[in-house]
Amino acid sequence: MKPRPPTGRRLANLVVSLSAGASALIGIVILFWITIIVVIRGFGALNLAFFTQMPTPPGVGGGGLANAIVGTLVLTMVATLLALPLGLLAGIYLAEFGGEARAADYSRFSANVLMGMPSIIVGVFAYAMVVVPLGHFCGYAGGLALAILMLPVVTRTTEDMLRLVPNTLREAALALGAPRWRVILAVVFRAAKAGLITGTLLAVARVSGETAPLLFTALNSPYMMTSLGQPTPNLPVTIFNYAMSPYPDWQQKAWGASLLITGGVLALTLLTRYILGERKR
Protein backbone atom coordinates (compact mmCIF):
# COMPACT_ATOMS: atom_id res chain seq x y z
CA MET A 1 0.00 0.00 0.00
CA LYS A 2 1.44 3.32 -1.06
CA PRO A 3 1.81 5.71 1.92
CA ARG A 4 -0.05 9.01 1.70
CA PRO A 5 2.01 12.18 2.09
CA PRO A 6 1.32 13.91 5.43
CA THR A 7 1.32 17.40 3.90
CA GLY A 8 -2.40 17.41 3.09
CA ARG A 9 -3.40 16.14 6.53
CA ARG A 10 -1.22 18.70 8.26
CA LEU A 11 -2.65 21.49 6.14
CA ALA A 12 -6.23 20.38 6.86
CA ASN A 13 -5.46 20.11 10.57
CA LEU A 14 -3.93 23.60 10.55
CA VAL A 15 -6.95 25.09 8.76
CA VAL A 16 -9.45 23.46 11.15
CA SER A 17 -7.40 24.46 14.21
CA LEU A 18 -7.12 28.08 13.07
CA SER A 19 -10.84 28.23 12.22
CA ALA A 20 -11.83 26.82 15.62
CA GLY A 21 -9.48 29.19 17.45
CA ALA A 22 -10.70 32.19 15.45
CA SER A 23 -14.35 31.30 16.16
CA ALA A 24 -13.66 30.99 19.88
CA LEU A 25 -11.79 34.31 19.85
CA ILE A 26 -14.67 36.05 18.06
CA GLY A 27 -17.11 34.76 20.68
CA ILE A 28 -14.90 35.95 23.54
CA VAL A 29 -14.41 39.38 21.95
CA ILE A 30 -18.17 39.83 21.42
CA LEU A 31 -18.87 38.78 25.02
CA PHE A 32 -16.35 41.23 26.44
CA TRP A 33 -17.55 43.95 24.08
CA ILE A 34 -21.16 43.59 25.22
CA THR A 35 -20.13 43.42 28.87
CA ILE A 36 -17.94 46.53 28.64
CA ILE A 37 -20.64 48.56 26.86
CA VAL A 38 -23.26 47.53 29.43
CA VAL A 39 -20.92 48.41 32.31
CA ILE A 40 -19.95 51.79 30.85
CA ARG A 41 -23.51 52.86 30.07
CA GLY A 42 -25.25 51.29 33.04
CA PHE A 43 -22.89 51.96 35.93
CA GLY A 44 -23.93 55.61 36.17
CA ALA A 45 -27.55 54.62 36.84
CA LEU A 46 -26.75 52.43 39.85
CA ASN A 47 -27.21 54.32 43.10
CA LEU A 48 -29.20 53.95 46.29
CA ALA A 49 -32.33 55.44 44.71
CA PHE A 50 -32.18 52.90 41.87
CA PHE A 51 -32.66 50.06 44.35
CA THR A 52 -34.98 51.73 46.87
CA GLN A 53 -37.29 54.14 45.04
CA MET A 54 -40.24 53.65 42.73
CA PRO A 55 -40.29 54.68 39.03
CA THR A 56 -41.10 58.28 38.20
CA PRO A 57 -43.68 59.40 35.60
CA PRO A 58 -42.53 59.83 31.99
CA GLY A 59 -40.26 62.82 31.55
CA VAL A 60 -39.59 63.23 35.29
CA GLY A 61 -36.05 62.50 36.45
CA GLY A 62 -34.99 60.56 39.50
CA GLY A 63 -36.64 57.53 41.04
CA GLY A 64 -35.59 53.94 40.72
CA LEU A 65 -36.70 50.42 39.84
CA ALA A 66 -37.34 48.93 43.26
CA ASN A 67 -40.66 47.45 42.17
CA ALA A 68 -39.15 45.73 39.12
CA ILE A 69 -36.28 44.30 41.15
CA VAL A 70 -38.65 42.86 43.75
CA GLY A 71 -40.99 41.54 41.06
CA THR A 72 -38.16 39.81 39.21
CA LEU A 73 -36.96 38.12 42.40
CA VAL A 74 -40.49 36.96 43.25
CA LEU A 75 -41.18 35.61 39.75
CA THR A 76 -37.86 33.75 39.73
CA MET A 77 -38.60 32.30 43.16
CA VAL A 78 -42.06 31.15 42.06
CA ALA A 79 -40.61 29.53 38.94
CA THR A 80 -37.93 27.80 41.01
CA LEU A 81 -40.48 26.47 43.49
CA LEU A 82 -42.57 25.07 40.63
CA ALA A 83 -39.78 23.65 38.47
CA LEU A 84 -37.25 22.38 41.02
CA PRO A 85 -39.34 19.61 42.68
CA LEU A 86 -40.75 18.40 39.35
CA GLY A 87 -37.33 18.51 37.69
CA LEU A 88 -35.67 16.60 40.52
CA LEU A 89 -38.37 13.93 40.54
CA ALA A 90 -38.22 13.57 36.76
CA GLY A 91 -34.44 13.30 36.89
CA ILE A 92 -34.65 10.65 39.61
CA TYR A 93 -37.07 8.61 37.51
CA LEU A 94 -34.88 8.82 34.40
CA ALA A 95 -31.64 7.98 36.25
CA GLU A 96 -32.82 5.45 38.82
CA PHE A 97 -35.99 3.78 37.54
CA GLY A 98 -36.62 4.56 33.88
CA GLY A 99 -33.55 2.97 32.35
CA GLU A 100 -34.13 2.31 28.67
CA ALA A 101 -37.92 2.05 28.96
CA ARG A 102 -40.01 3.66 26.27
CA ALA A 103 -41.57 6.13 28.71
CA ALA A 104 -38.09 7.25 29.79
CA ASP A 105 -37.03 7.72 26.17
CA TYR A 106 -40.11 9.83 25.50
CA SER A 107 -39.39 11.89 28.62
CA ARG A 108 -35.78 12.54 27.57
CA PHE A 109 -36.91 13.49 24.09
CA SER A 110 -39.52 15.88 25.49
CA ALA A 111 -36.98 17.49 27.80
CA ASN A 112 -34.55 17.97 24.91
CA VAL A 113 -37.27 19.56 22.79
CA LEU A 114 -38.29 21.88 25.63
CA MET A 115 -34.68 22.98 26.13
CA GLY A 116 -34.62 24.19 22.53
CA MET A 117 -38.13 25.61 22.53
CA PRO A 118 -38.27 29.38 21.78
CA SER A 119 -39.29 31.20 24.92
CA ILE A 120 -41.95 33.22 23.13
CA ILE A 121 -43.86 30.00 22.35
CA VAL A 122 -43.80 29.11 26.04
CA GLY A 123 -45.15 32.58 26.76
CA VAL A 124 -48.01 32.13 24.30
CA PHE A 125 -48.80 28.75 25.88
CA ALA A 126 -48.94 30.27 29.39
CA TYR A 127 -51.04 33.11 28.00
CA ALA A 128 -53.59 30.66 26.60
CA MET A 129 -53.62 28.46 29.71
CA VAL A 130 -53.75 31.14 32.43
CA VAL A 131 -54.21 34.69 31.15
CA VAL A 132 -57.11 34.00 28.80
CA PRO A 133 -59.22 32.05 31.37
CA LEU A 134 -58.53 34.67 34.08
CA GLY A 135 -59.11 37.60 31.75
CA HIS A 136 -56.05 39.59 32.83
CA PHE A 137 -52.27 39.40 33.07
CA CYS A 138 -50.82 38.11 36.33
CA GLY A 139 -47.65 36.98 38.03
CA TYR A 140 -48.86 33.39 38.28
CA ALA A 141 -48.78 33.08 34.50
CA GLY A 142 -45.28 34.59 34.43
CA GLY A 143 -44.03 32.17 37.07
CA LEU A 144 -45.55 29.25 35.15
CA ALA A 145 -43.88 30.29 31.90
CA LEU A 146 -40.47 30.64 33.56
CA ALA A 147 -40.95 27.30 35.35
CA ILE A 148 -41.59 25.55 32.02
CA LEU A 149 -38.30 26.97 30.73
CA MET A 150 -36.46 25.83 33.87
CA LEU A 151 -37.95 22.33 34.02
CA PRO A 152 -35.95 20.59 31.25
CA VAL A 153 -32.66 22.09 32.46
CA VAL A 154 -33.20 20.77 36.00
CA THR A 155 -34.42 17.40 34.70
CA ARG A 156 -31.51 16.66 32.39
CA THR A 157 -28.91 17.98 34.83
CA THR A 158 -30.35 15.85 37.63
CA GLU A 159 -30.30 12.74 35.45
CA ASP A 160 -26.73 13.35 34.30
CA MET A 161 -25.44 14.04 37.81
CA LEU A 162 -27.13 10.98 39.33
CA ARG A 163 -25.76 8.74 36.58
CA LEU A 164 -22.24 9.87 37.49
CA VAL A 165 -22.61 8.42 41.00
CA PRO A 166 -20.90 4.98 41.08
CA ASN A 167 -23.24 1.99 41.38
CA THR A 168 -21.03 0.62 44.15
CA LEU A 169 -22.43 3.27 46.50
CA ARG A 170 -25.98 2.17 45.74
CA GLU A 171 -25.11 -1.51 46.14
CA ALA A 172 -23.33 -0.91 49.45
CA ALA A 173 -26.30 0.99 50.87
CA LEU A 174 -28.78 -1.60 49.64
CA ALA A 175 -26.64 -4.36 51.13
CA LEU A 176 -26.99 -2.70 54.54
CA GLY A 177 -30.76 -3.06 54.27
CA ALA A 178 -31.65 0.53 53.38
CA PRO A 179 -34.80 0.92 51.25
CA ARG A 180 -34.40 2.23 47.71
CA TRP A 181 -35.86 5.66 48.43
CA ARG A 182 -33.54 6.19 51.36
CA VAL A 183 -30.53 5.14 49.29
CA ILE A 184 -31.43 7.75 46.68
CA LEU A 185 -32.03 10.58 49.14
CA ALA A 186 -29.29 9.88 51.69
CA VAL A 187 -26.52 8.43 49.53
CA VAL A 188 -26.97 9.22 45.85
CA PHE A 189 -28.25 12.77 46.36
CA ARG A 190 -25.47 13.54 48.81
CA ALA A 191 -22.84 12.30 46.37
CA ALA A 192 -24.34 14.38 43.55
CA LYS A 193 -25.11 17.46 45.67
CA ALA A 194 -22.70 19.80 43.88
CA GLY A 195 -24.01 18.83 40.46
CA LEU A 196 -27.64 19.28 41.52
CA ILE A 197 -26.91 22.75 42.88
CA THR A 198 -25.14 23.54 39.63
CA GLY A 199 -28.18 22.50 37.61
CA THR A 200 -30.45 24.68 39.70
CA LEU A 201 -28.19 27.71 39.28
CA LEU A 202 -27.99 27.13 35.52
CA ALA A 203 -31.79 26.96 35.33
CA VAL A 204 -32.16 30.21 37.28
CA ALA A 205 -29.60 31.90 35.01
CA ARG A 206 -31.53 30.55 32.01
CA VAL A 207 -34.74 32.39 32.91
CA SER A 208 -33.49 35.45 34.79
CA GLY A 209 -33.37 37.64 31.68
CA GLU A 210 -36.28 36.24 29.67
CA THR A 211 -38.53 38.95 28.28
CA ALA A 212 -40.80 37.33 25.69
CA PRO A 213 -42.70 35.01 28.08
CA LEU A 214 -43.33 37.85 30.52
CA LEU A 215 -44.74 40.12 27.81
CA PHE A 216 -47.57 37.58 27.36
CA THR A 217 -48.06 36.71 31.03
CA ALA A 218 -46.92 39.01 33.85
CA LEU A 219 -46.66 42.06 31.56
CA ASN A 220 -45.46 44.95 33.79
CA SER A 221 -46.60 47.50 36.35
CA PRO A 222 -45.28 50.87 37.59
CA TYR A 223 -46.38 50.02 41.14
CA MET A 224 -44.97 47.79 43.85
CA MET A 225 -46.46 44.33 43.62
CA THR A 226 -48.91 43.31 46.32
CA SER A 227 -50.19 40.08 44.77
CA LEU A 228 -49.26 37.64 42.02
CA GLY A 229 -52.83 37.81 40.79
CA GLN A 230 -52.20 41.08 38.98
CA PRO A 231 -49.70 42.43 36.41
CA THR A 232 -46.28 42.09 38.02
CA PRO A 233 -43.33 44.48 37.54
CA ASN A 234 -40.11 42.90 36.34
CA LEU A 235 -36.74 44.00 35.01
CA PRO A 236 -36.78 42.42 31.51
CA VAL A 237 -40.02 44.07 30.40
CA THR A 238 -39.00 47.31 32.12
CA ILE A 239 -35.78 47.32 30.10
CA PHE A 240 -37.80 46.78 26.93
CA ASN A 241 -40.19 49.65 27.72
CA TYR A 242 -37.54 52.07 28.96
CA ALA A 243 -35.09 51.42 26.14
CA MET A 244 -37.79 52.13 23.53
CA SER A 245 -38.88 55.38 25.22
CA PRO A 246 -37.71 58.85 24.08
CA TYR A 247 -36.73 59.90 27.62
CA PRO A 248 -32.96 59.93 28.38
CA ASP A 249 -33.55 59.22 32.08
CA TRP A 250 -35.55 56.09 31.29
CA GLN A 251 -32.94 54.98 28.78
CA GLN A 252 -30.24 55.37 31.43
CA LYS A 253 -32.27 53.28 33.85
CA ALA A 254 -32.68 50.63 31.14
CA TRP A 255 -28.88 50.39 30.90
CA GLY A 256 -28.67 50.16 34.69
CA ALA A 257 -31.22 47.34 34.77
CA SER A 258 -29.33 45.59 31.96
CA LEU A 259 -26.14 45.80 34.00
CA LEU A 260 -27.96 44.41 37.03
CA ILE A 261 -29.25 41.38 35.11
CA THR A 262 -25.92 40.84 33.35
CA GLY A 263 -24.09 40.95 36.67
CA GLY A 264 -26.54 38.49 38.20
CA VAL A 265 -26.21 36.00 35.34
CA LEU A 266 -22.42 36.37 35.38
CA ALA A 267 -22.32 35.80 39.14
CA LEU A 268 -24.48 32.67 38.84
CA THR A 269 -22.28 31.35 36.02
CA LEU A 270 -19.08 31.93 37.98
CA LEU A 271 -20.61 30.32 41.06
CA THR A 272 -21.62 27.31 38.95
CA ARG A 273 -18.11 26.92 37.56
CA TYR A 274 -16.66 27.24 41.06
CA ILE A 275 -18.95 24.51 42.41
CA LEU A 276 -18.09 22.24 39.47
CA GLY A 277 -14.40 22.88 40.02
CA GLU A 278 -14.68 22.03 43.70
CA ARG A 279 -16.56 18.83 42.83
CA LYS A 280 -13.89 17.74 40.35
CA ARG A 281 -11.12 18.36 42.91
Q: What is the pLDDT of residue 230?
A: 93
Question: Is residue 15 pLDDT above 70, yes or no?
Answer: yes
The 10s digit of each residue's pLDDT in 173-209 is: 889 888 888 999 889 988 888 888 888 888 898 898 8
Average pLDDT over residues 48-55: 93
Average pLDDT over residues 73-87: 94
Q: What is the mean pLDDT of the chain?
A: 90
Q: What is the pLDDT of residue 266?
A: 87
Lowest mean pLDDT among 23-27, 31-35, 159-163, 196-200: 196-200
Lowest mean pLDDT among 38-47, 58-67, 82-91: 58-67
Q: In a 10 Å sphere around its CB, with 0-12 CB exposed, 13-18 middle and 19+ buried, how is residue 143 labelled?
A: buried
The 10s digit of each residue's pLDDT in 212-228 is: 999 999 999 999 998 99
Average pLDDT over residues 238-255: 93
Question: Is residue 25 pLDDT above 90, yes or no?
Answer: yes
pLDDT band, residue 2 (cuts 50/70/90) = low
How far is the CA of 111 from the CAs of 94, 149, 192, in angstroms? 11, 10, 20
Query: How many whole angstroms separate alpha carbon 268 and alpha carbon 281?
Result: 20
Query: How many whole angstroms separate alpha carbon 159 and alpha carbon 93?
Result: 8
Per-residue DSSP letter, 166:
-
**DSSP line for 260-277:** HHHHHHHHHHHHHHHHHH
- Map residue 159 onto helix, strand or coil: helix
Intra-chain end-to-end CA distance of the chain, in Å: 48
Question: Is residue 10 pLDDT above 90, yes or no?
Answer: no
What is the pTM assigned to this prediction? 0.88
Query: How many whole angstroms separate alpha carbon 262 and alpha carbon 275?
Result: 20
Query: How many whole angstroms separate alpha carbon 194 and alpha carbon 11?
Result: 43
Query: How many whole angstroms separate alpha carbon 58 and alpha carbon 250?
Result: 8
Average pLDDT over residues 41-46: 92
The 10s digit of each residue's pLDDT in 117-171 is: 899 999 999 999 999 999 999 999 999 999 999 999 999 999 999 999 998 988 8
Sorted by where each starts, the structural domains of the chain and their CATH numbers stand as 65-280 (1.10.3720.10)
Per-residue DSSP letter, 43:
G
Question: Is residue 276 pLDDT above 70, yes or no?
Answer: no
**DSSP line for 204-238:** HHHHTT--HHHHHTT---SS----TTS----HHHH
Q: What is the pLDDT of residue 1?
A: 52
Q: What is the pLDDT of residue 3?
A: 64
Q: What is the pLDDT of residue 208?
A: 85
